[in-house]
Amino acid sequence: MNKLNIKNMSSEDLMYAGPEPEFYYIINGKETDLVVPEGEPIGIDVDTEEGVTLELFNNVYWAQYQYEWE
């Protein structure tokens, strides 16, 4: 992640896990199957020249949610 100017950030830049199990914790440098609970912060939105990107915290990774169809 590029260096960020924290002074220019606000709480609105924080992003949180939703109800779908798609963000997981990294513990001791290893990806786990522990889901980040809904409402927990997962990263920040960063403005770039290409648009806004989500920069995840170092202890979080994303894995595509697999919908269970009935």
Q: What is the per-residue pLDDT across 18-31, written as a single tens digit (0 to 9) for each?
A: 999 999 999 999 99
What three-state secondary structure class fits 60? strand
In the chain, domain spans: 8-62
Residue type, position 62, single letter: W
User: Is the predicted pLDDT of residue 10 greater than 80, yes or no?
Assistant: no
| Residue 54, pLDDT score | 92
Give pTM, 2 decimals.
0.77
Neighbouring residues of 67: CB distance < 8 A, sequence distance ≥ 6: none
Q: What is the pLDDT of residues 38-67, one digit of tens each?
A: 999 999 998 889 998 999 999 999 998 665
Amino acid at 28: N
